[in-house]
Structure 1
């Protein structure tokens, strides 16, 4: 592979690493697809890569991480979003498939290992974002489980109190590691008219039914289009606060605009020098150009 071809093939990546909520984030069954919106926003600037692993808890995800993160010579990871916890927070010993639960201490330990994994740290200046567990709605979750597992007695497999505990664990860990935390738990509660200290816990069977909270969750657990829309808004707000230079409008596009003449000039050189992002001023006759470099000669 020539250097020019290598450069073209390796646009920096925005890796989404999570469980089924992440895996489904490009789904066209939703009124708003978070992953597709992110890919559209960063089109020709960053490649958005879906590494959602349905059903995985953090122990399984940690083992899979080296297969989900490219090596630096393959592609550079600029952003890594880590979004696990809903399976870890499952009620221990609850029926319906293998037990996915992990203790809060294990959960924190595994997330810490992910953030410091050699496969992640091999990438220079990777920007890590941790996402809290969201709230759940026990009524919708119970109904969905009864439909999925009709032979099981009506018993909760996930509880509102558990997701609240794991969300707090992620907040604390983010502070310890100095890593930004996207607190989707608090954001959903706030827009449902509640705070983290509300009792009984919103979404629990003991609390009144909350139509706004329910509107964010299709089955009490997974996100609806409105849930993904809120996640997208919170993510972009976090990037603006933390890395304003990484907002889409401030990142140069890869490949020139169609109407920028310098990028299409023919200079007669059939063997142009390899494209180098760092020090080239202008490239003529090659498509692997950055808008910022083209602007230097316009």
Structure 2
């Protein structure tokens, strides 16, 4: 303990686009005040007194934007930090915007061609790999075009919409690319497949018939249940493949309450 204080915490980094930005929102249904499952809160809860959660989500961002951000975040939150405060595990979740089709809209700066997306993601993951940080690489998930069309019908007119076919293509190619990259600390989470599997096993008849409103709030962003599916998938990877950062095996920060005495904290570094 001589090189750290009890106040030092290592970090779990959540890094992605709007699905990550909204990960602490308990009210994805703006018409209801009934709180829903929150991915960010669930991660912080399961890592209470073990890791702090660093929330870095950026609405509308793509893999193109992720690379400079990854370098900046890791420089500040890893390179410049003592070992007791460094990022120790992360997820990276980009691709939902990249997979948007290129239409006629001049405002669509999200579409990233598949090959560029793959190149960007390899370079992003390399930043983590070079620092020996285990990283869960989350692929694009399921899309409900009917839900999205209700809110953004102009995308159909201009052709700047998303499709499940393209989301799955980006998932499959990213999975192949990362698995062939040789990065030992990169773990693919094939979200599209996981969501489909969940629907087949647990979904309502409505979901099995192509209405995904129980897991997607607007066709892209998640309901609480959608986030819960993602959380379960993240924790499954950690508990089975990155066991040193499984909450089950990590020690809590700060002494147990029954050991507290008048001078317990005399050794904290000031």
Retained in 2: the 8 A contact 1:72–1:122?
A: no
* Cα distance in structure 1, aligned partners of 2:63 and 2:265: 48
Larger Rg: 1
Matched position secondary structure for 1:189: helix
Matched position secondary structure for 2:40: helix
Residue number in structure 2 paired with 1:188: 195
1:166-220 Cα shifts (integer Å, max 9, x gaps): 11122112311342111111111112229xxxxxxxx9xxxx8423x33111011
* Cα distance in structure 2, aligned partners of 1:220 and 1:127: 30
Residue number in structure 2 paired with 1:76: 86
Retained in 1: the 8 A contact 2:140–2:171?
A: yes
Deviation at 1:100, TM superposition (A): 1.0
Question: Please, what TM-score do these two structures have when normalized by structure 1?
Answer: 0.76
Gaps of 5+ in 2: 29-35, 202-206
- Rate the CA distance shift 1:32–1:96 in 2: closer, same or farther, 3 A: farther
* Cα distance in structure 2, aligned partners of 1:288 and 1:170: 45
Residue number in structure 2 paired with 1:293: none
Residue number in structure 2 paired with 1:278: none
Residue number in structure 2 paired with 1:210: 210
Match status 1:169 vs 2:176: no
Question: Please, what TM-score do these two structures have when normalized by structure 2?
Answer: 0.83
Matched position secondary structure for 1:192: helix
Residue number in structure 1 paired with 2:44: 39
1:99-141 Cα shifts (integer Å, max 9, x gaps): 2111111111101001112xx3563x31111011001011111
* Cα distance in structure 2, aligned partners of 1:193 and 1:34: 22
Residue number in structure 2 paired with 1:159: 163
Retained in 2: the 8 A contact 1:89–1:158?
A: yes
Match status 1:49 vs 2:80: no
Retained in 1: the 8 A contact 2:105–2:160?
A: no
1:248-277 Cα shifts (integer Å, max 9, x gaps): 1211111122222xx4253xxxxxxxxxxx
Decide which of 96, 108, 113 is 1:98's aligned counterpart.
Answer: 108
Matched position secondary structure for 1:106: helix
* Cα distance in structure 1, aligned partners of 2:21 and 2:63: 15
Retained in 1: the 8 A contact 2:108–2:160?
A: no
Residue number in structure 1 paired with 2:97: 87
Decide which of 6, 10, 13 is 1:12's aligned counterpart.
Answer: 10
When the two chains are superposed, the root-mean-square deviation of aligned CA atoms in Å is 2.6
Match status 1:62 vs 2:32: no
Question: Which stretch shifts more, 94-103 or 27-36?
Answer: 94-103
Match status 1:223 vs 2:240: no
